[in-house]
Amino acid sequence: MNYNEINSMLESLTEGVPYTMTNLANASALLNEKLEDINWVGFYTVKDGRLVLGPFQGKVACTIIPMGKGVCGTAAAQDKTQLVDNVHTFAGHIACDSASNSEIVVPMHRSGEVFGVLDIDSPVFSRFTEEDREGLEEFVRILEKHI
Protein backbone atom coordinates (compact mmCIF):
# COMPACT_ATOMS: atom_id res chain seq x y z
CA MET A 1 0.00 0.00 0.00
CA ASN A 2 1.39 3.36 -0.97
CA TYR A 3 0.39 5.65 1.87
CA ASN A 4 2.63 8.43 0.54
CA GLU A 5 0.40 8.59 -2.54
CA ILE A 6 -2.84 8.35 -0.56
CA ASN A 7 -1.73 11.00 1.90
CA SER A 8 -0.62 13.30 -0.92
CA MET A 9 -4.04 12.89 -2.52
CA LEU A 10 -5.70 13.74 0.80
CA GLU A 11 -3.61 16.92 1.06
CA SER A 12 -4.83 17.95 -2.40
CA LEU A 13 -8.48 17.10 -1.62
CA THR A 14 -8.59 19.03 1.65
CA GLU A 15 -6.36 22.02 0.90
CA GLY A 16 -8.41 25.19 1.19
CA VAL A 17 -11.64 23.33 2.05
CA PRO A 18 -12.97 24.66 5.38
CA TYR A 19 -15.86 22.19 5.73
CA THR A 20 -15.36 19.32 8.17
CA MET A 21 -18.06 17.00 6.83
CA THR A 22 -16.95 17.56 3.24
CA ASN A 23 -13.38 16.62 4.13
CA LEU A 24 -14.46 13.56 6.12
CA ALA A 25 -16.70 12.43 3.25
CA ASN A 26 -13.93 12.75 0.66
CA ALA A 27 -11.42 11.11 3.02
CA SER A 28 -13.65 8.05 3.48
CA ALA A 29 -14.24 7.83 -0.29
CA LEU A 30 -10.50 8.08 -0.96
CA LEU A 31 -9.65 5.25 1.45
CA ASN A 32 -12.51 3.13 0.13
CA GLU A 33 -11.16 3.56 -3.39
CA LYS A 34 -7.48 2.96 -2.56
CA LEU A 35 -7.44 0.28 0.17
CA GLU A 36 -7.86 -3.38 -0.66
CA ASP A 37 -9.74 -6.02 1.33
CA ILE A 38 -11.91 -3.64 3.33
CA ASN A 39 -15.68 -3.65 3.70
CA TRP A 40 -16.29 -0.43 5.66
CA VAL A 41 -14.45 2.86 6.15
CA GLY A 42 -15.69 5.95 7.85
CA PHE A 43 -15.78 8.31 10.77
CA TYR A 44 -17.48 8.66 14.11
CA THR A 45 -17.40 12.06 15.82
CA VAL A 46 -17.81 12.88 19.50
CA LYS A 47 -21.19 14.36 20.38
CA ASP A 48 -22.59 14.56 23.91
CA GLY A 49 -19.90 12.25 25.27
CA ARG A 50 -20.43 9.43 22.77
CA LEU A 51 -19.46 8.58 19.20
CA VAL A 52 -21.99 9.40 16.49
CA LEU A 53 -21.83 8.08 12.93
CA GLY A 54 -20.34 10.47 10.40
CA PRO A 55 -19.44 10.17 6.71
CA PHE A 56 -18.64 6.63 5.58
CA GLN A 57 -18.47 4.14 2.72
CA GLY A 58 -20.04 0.71 3.22
CA LYS A 59 -23.13 -0.97 4.59
CA VAL A 60 -25.51 0.64 7.06
CA ALA A 61 -23.61 1.13 10.33
CA CYS A 62 -24.10 1.51 14.06
CA THR A 63 -25.24 5.08 14.67
CA ILE A 64 -24.17 5.66 18.28
CA ILE A 65 -21.28 4.04 20.17
CA PRO A 66 -20.73 4.69 23.88
CA MET A 67 -17.26 5.91 24.86
CA GLY A 68 -15.14 2.98 25.98
CA LYS A 69 -17.32 0.39 24.20
CA GLY A 70 -16.21 -1.65 21.20
CA VAL A 71 -13.08 -0.96 19.20
CA CYS A 72 -14.14 2.59 18.27
CA GLY A 73 -15.18 3.59 21.78
CA THR A 74 -11.98 2.11 23.20
CA ALA A 75 -9.79 4.02 20.72
CA ALA A 76 -11.57 7.27 21.58
CA ALA A 77 -11.55 6.73 25.36
CA GLN A 78 -7.88 5.69 25.45
CA ASP A 79 -6.86 8.16 22.71
CA LYS A 80 -4.87 5.33 21.16
CA THR A 81 -4.98 3.55 17.80
CA GLN A 82 -6.54 0.10 18.03
CA LEU A 83 -5.32 -2.53 15.57
CA VAL A 84 -7.39 -5.68 16.03
CA ASP A 85 -6.52 -8.87 14.13
CA ASN A 86 -9.71 -10.68 15.15
CA VAL A 87 -12.64 -8.53 16.29
CA HIS A 88 -14.46 -11.61 17.61
CA THR A 89 -11.91 -11.90 20.42
CA PHE A 90 -12.03 -8.17 21.33
CA ALA A 91 -13.82 -7.76 24.66
CA GLY A 92 -17.00 -5.75 24.14
CA HIS A 93 -16.81 -5.79 20.34
CA ILE A 94 -19.88 -4.23 18.72
CA ALA A 95 -20.78 -6.17 15.58
CA CYS A 96 -22.27 -3.68 13.14
CA ASP A 97 -21.48 -6.00 10.20
CA SER A 98 -21.02 -9.71 10.86
CA ALA A 99 -18.74 -9.93 7.79
CA SER A 100 -16.06 -7.83 9.53
CA ASN A 101 -13.20 -9.85 11.02
CA SER A 102 -10.44 -7.29 11.61
CA GLU A 103 -10.41 -3.58 12.29
CA ILE A 104 -8.23 -0.54 12.77
CA VAL A 105 -9.42 2.61 14.53
CA VAL A 106 -7.38 5.83 14.72
CA PRO A 107 -8.38 8.72 17.03
CA MET A 108 -8.69 12.22 15.52
CA HIS A 109 -8.17 15.48 17.38
CA ARG A 110 -9.38 19.04 17.28
CA SER A 111 -8.02 21.69 19.65
CA GLY A 112 -6.10 19.02 21.58
CA GLU A 113 -9.20 16.93 22.33
CA VAL A 114 -10.44 13.69 20.75
CA PHE A 115 -12.84 14.83 18.03
CA GLY A 116 -13.67 11.39 16.65
CA VAL A 117 -12.20 8.29 15.07
CA LEU A 118 -11.36 6.88 11.67
CA ASP A 119 -12.71 3.32 11.57
CA ILE A 120 -11.82 0.72 8.92
CA ASP A 121 -13.14 -2.86 8.86
CA SER A 122 -12.07 -5.85 6.81
CA PRO A 123 -13.54 -9.29 6.17
CA VAL A 124 -9.94 -10.62 6.25
CA PHE A 125 -8.45 -11.66 9.59
CA SER A 126 -5.19 -9.81 10.44
CA ARG A 127 -5.71 -7.46 7.47
CA PHE A 128 -4.06 -4.44 9.09
CA THR A 129 -0.33 -4.12 9.72
CA GLU A 130 2.06 -1.68 11.38
CA GLU A 131 2.50 -0.11 7.94
CA ASP A 132 -1.26 0.53 7.88
CA ARG A 133 -1.13 1.96 11.40
CA GLU A 134 1.67 4.38 10.50
CA GLY A 135 0.12 5.36 7.16
CA LEU A 136 -3.35 5.90 8.61
CA GLU A 137 -2.05 7.82 11.63
CA GLU A 138 -0.33 10.17 9.17
CA PHE A 139 -3.56 10.31 7.12
CA VAL A 140 -5.41 11.44 10.25
CA ARG A 141 -2.72 14.04 11.10
CA ILE A 142 -3.24 15.56 7.65
CA LEU A 143 -7.02 15.47 8.07
CA GLU A 144 -6.83 17.08 11.51
CA LYS A 145 -5.52 20.26 9.87
CA HIS A 146 -8.80 20.52 7.96
CA ILE A 147 -11.45 19.57 10.52
Sheet holding 113-122, edge to edge: 64-66, 50-58, 40-47, 113-122, 102-110, 82-84
Rounded average pLDDT over 26-49: 97
What is the radius of gyration, based on Cα positions, of the chain?
Answer: 14
Q: Which of 74, 76, 67 is nearest to 90 (CA)?
A: 74
pLDDT computed for residue 80 by the predictor: 98
Q: What is the CATH number of the domain that holds 91?
A: 3.30.450.40
pTM over 0.75: yes
Mean pLDDT of the chain: 95
131 beta partners: none
State the average pLDDT over residues 39-61: 97
The predicted structure's pLDDT at residue 1: 67
> Is 97 a residue whose pLDDT tops 80?
no
Contacts of 123 (CB under 8 A, 6+ apart): 37, 39, 99, 100, 101
Residue 92 scores a pLDDT above 80: no
Number of separate domains in the chain: 1
C-beta separation of 85 from 103 below 8 A: no
Work out the pLDDT band at 68, boundaries 50, 70, 90: very high
Q: Are 54 and 60 a contacting pair, CB within 8 Å?
A: no
Rounded CA gap, 51 and 130, in Å? 25
Range of the domain at 89: 3-144
Residue 45 — pLDDT band, cuts 50, 70, 90?
very high
* DSSP annotation of 100: -
